[in-house]
A and B are shown apart, each in its own frame.
Chain A
Amino acid sequence: MHMADALISPATGGAMWVVSAGLALHAARKLRNEITERKVPLMGVMGAFVFAAQMINFSIPGTGSSGHLAGGLLLAALLGPHAAYLVMFSILTVQALFFGDGGLLALGCNVFNMGFWACLVVYPFIFRRIAGNRPGWSRLLTASLMAAVLALQMGAFSVVLETRLSGISELPFGKFLLLMQPIHLAIGIVEGLVTAALLSFVWKARPEVLDFTADARDRAKVSLKPVLIGFGAAAVITGGLLSWFASTHPDGLEWSMFRTSGREELAAPADGVHRSLSEAQKKTALMPDYEFPRPDGNREESPPESALQAEHWPAVKAGTSLAGLVGSAIVLALAGLVGLTVRLKRRRS
């Protein structure tokens, strides 16, 4: 579920960074009082545990394949929602830096998709409610399954939404959704089973370790306010993003059409908004149309498809692409040459 930088737009990545970083600030503030208690080192070691546990594969019965733990829900059950969110933040950062799993710009999206839903929404509002203070095996299993499936469904949905808003991938919203949700239903069930198995082991061996059983003093009444504020902020930012897209980007427009009409495709309007938007886009396009002058002075006739495409995107013309190709090749060669020269020089000195 890790999103890569290659597939997101700066607006989406930036907005999700703002949301995720804001939530991290909120979580850090919440935890300030607990800092000198034992939670800080436990956060570190439990993050490391999830890291290690992810590398131990278990076999999924009947399928012949193997899976591993995602960990957001487990962390929340061990450390509480805010600490778990920060731990997920740190795990995802280490994965992005050391393994290239998910990009740095996409980190905001990834933290939101995998940390926010599991730790800050599903755990306090679904898991704790179902599990209660002294859960038996069946309660623990129900709570874990429900929570894991929900968290992964929300995460998968967010991935689809962010990918669509970015507009780099051509995958249509509906089809991508149909691809992602069932896969993550299966992953969610496995995650739920695994989390339940682990939690029941810990519950039997050392119940005091778990967050939800620790003591129910002020845990029972979770304040809805911060979550509502977070949702509100997310809605405002997403809304702003959406309108920005809808105003410059035909894909975003299509997307919002789908949202408002309930149909994925509308008959392409030959006039009105669509046309004026693409006109506007042509005017505001950053890339001026360079065209290589043809020797015979004639412009190449563009085929019908190309003309159709030109309505949507600044067309890439033959001259432009040839010049681009030649220039790119030269730049690439230059880059290699620079690298080689520096290296040779270094070796000599």
Chain B
Amino acid sequence: MNHVKHKGHEEHAVLVVNPGMAQFESALNDIRALERLAARDSPVQRLDPRAMVIVTAAFLITVVSFPKYEIAGLVPLVLYPAILVAVGNLPLRVLVRYLLLAAPFAVLVGLFNPLLDRAITARLGALAVSGGWLSFLSILARFLLTVSAALLLLAATGYSALCSALGRLGMPRLLTTQFLLLYRFIFIVADEAQRMVRAYVLRSRRAGGMPLRVWSSLTGNLLLRAYDRGLRVHTAMLSRGFDGFMRSRHTPHWSWLDSGFVLACAGFFLLARFGHPAELLGRWVLQVLR
């Protein structure tokens, strides 16, 4: 159900004997790579994380609020990720890889549309286009826009800053703490798990998944180790004055730049949603050509 599927990393093929190993390496590397993006310095990363949260929410709502056959209306919204990628100096490769990893579900469900909705809704000269293909293309466009917006939110803020921003926007502190602790522990527990799986792989001749009996005792042991580790860490935290809440070291200040960013984005989204800029531009150009 919860898919954390990741294809093998070419650069990390040294110890990869079993697909499970590759998954670990790859997933942890993905997380680290995304965190490194947020550590870059650019006007995008200097924004208050709260501004990014607000703008991302507005962007997502704008994208999904278009009617289901809409394509031309969605295209101008590409400007938002394009400008952020450019100004934030983010590598396109990471974005493309992330999009490919996330693609299967939306594409799979969307593919039913051309099969089920065959009524002709549009004509381009001699080419008749069915409603299903239009809505499928629209789903793909939505997918590209929403998934890149999620990545950009993370790349512009970084996980910890994002969590404290959510806390300052009203998320319960218990949940903020949970978000931060989960992230800290992922690396610790995944390292432990990786060592255990490596030990198993080196001693077995099997490829692929392990039998359920082995899996349950291995994972059970991992669970107990993680549990003990958690308690030890907790004791250490308590002895250093932990009172149930994590505090962040620096709190970003909301500046007029952040207000400007939010207002500009909101204006642009409204224009893109209700102004039909792509169509108007197209008509104007066609008229000029004529």
Which A residues contact B (CB, under 8 angstroms)? 1-10, 13-14, 24-25, 28, 31-32, 35-36, 38, 40-49, 51-61, 66-71, 78, 86-87, 89-91, 93-101, 103-105, 114, 152, 155, 163, 167-172, 187, 191, 193-194, 197-198, 200-202, 205-206, 209, 285-287, 290, 292, 300, 303, 305-306, 308-309, 313-318, 320-328, 330-332, 334-336, 338-343, 346
Contacts and interface: CB of A to CB of B under 8 A. Distances in A.
B71 to A, nearest CB: 7
Given A331-B277, A342-B87, A40 B67 contact: no
Q: Is the interface of A mostly helix, strand, loop or mixed?
A: helix
A291 B4 CA distance: 46
Contacts of A286: 67, 274
Given A105-B60, A290-B279, A24 B175 contact: yes
Contacts of B115: 170
B225 to A, nearest CB: 9
Contacts of B178: 40, 43-44, 47, 86-87, 89-90
B34 A98 contact: yes
Nearest to A107: B150
Nearest to B123: A318
A198 B210 contact: no
B254 interface: no
Given A6-B140, A202-B224, 8 more contacts: A40-B234, A41-B234, A44-B177, A56-B197, A58-B215, A95-B2, A114-B1, A338-B79
Contact of A49 (B140, B162, B189, B278): B189
B218 interface: yes
Top-7 shortest CB links A-B: A44-B181, A100-B102, A324-B72, A327-B282, A45-B230, A201-B220, A66-B209
A91 B129 CA distance: 41
Contacts of A170: 112-113, 115-117, 132, 135
A49 B226 contact: yes
B143 to A, nearest CB: 4
Q: Which of B23, B63, B125, B226 gathers most chain A CB within 10 Å?
A: B226
A260 to B, nearest CB: 23
A335 B82 contact: yes
Contact of B146 (A38, A103, A318): A103
B122 interface: yes
A94 B183 contact: yes
13 contacts: A2-B3, A4-B147, A47-B181, A52-B193, A56-B215, A59-B208, A96-B150, A170-B113, A170-B132, A171-B116, A322-B282, A327-B282, A336-B82
A290 B17 CA distance: 59
B226 A202 contact: no
A340 B183 CA distance: 35
Contacts of A56: 20, 193, 197, 210, 215, 218-219
Interface string B82-105: 110111010000000011011001
A89 B176 CA distance: 11
Contacts of B213: 197
Contacts of B280: 323, 327
A250 to B, nearest CB: 12
Contacts of B223: 46, 49, 53, 78, 198, 201-202
A268 B116 CA distance: 17
Contacts of B184: 44
A51 B79 contact: no
Contacts of B218: 56
Given A28-B172, A45-B230, A56-B215, A323 B286 contact: yes
Q: Which of B27, B64, B73, B274 gathers most chain A CB within 10 Å?
A: B64
Contact of A103 (B60, B73, B179): B60
Contacts of A287: 67, 70, 73, 276
Contact of B182 (A55, A94, A169, A309): A94
Q: Is the interface of B mostly helix, strand, loop or mixed?
A: helix
B279 A43 contact: no
Nearest to B207: A59
A284 B87 CA distance: 39
Given A97-B159, A99-B30, A339-B86, A327 B174 contact: no
Contacts of B286: 292, 322-323, 326
Q: Which of B2, B134, B189, B218 gathers most chain A CB within 10 Å?
A: B2
Contacts of A38: 231, 234
Given A48-B185, A99-B4, A343-B86, A325 B226 contact: no
B78 interface: yes
B139 interface: yes
Contacts of A332: 75, 78
A97 to B, nearest CB: 5
B131 to A, nearest CB: 6
Contacts of B6: 99
B83 A86 contact: no
A330 B65 CA distance: 23
Contacts of B210: 56-59
A103 B219 contact: no
A168 B68 contact: yes
B69 A316 contact: yes
A48 B125 CA distance: 56
Given A44-B185, A105-B60, A305-B120, A36 B279 contact: no
B124 A318 contact: yes
A197 to B, nearest CB: 3
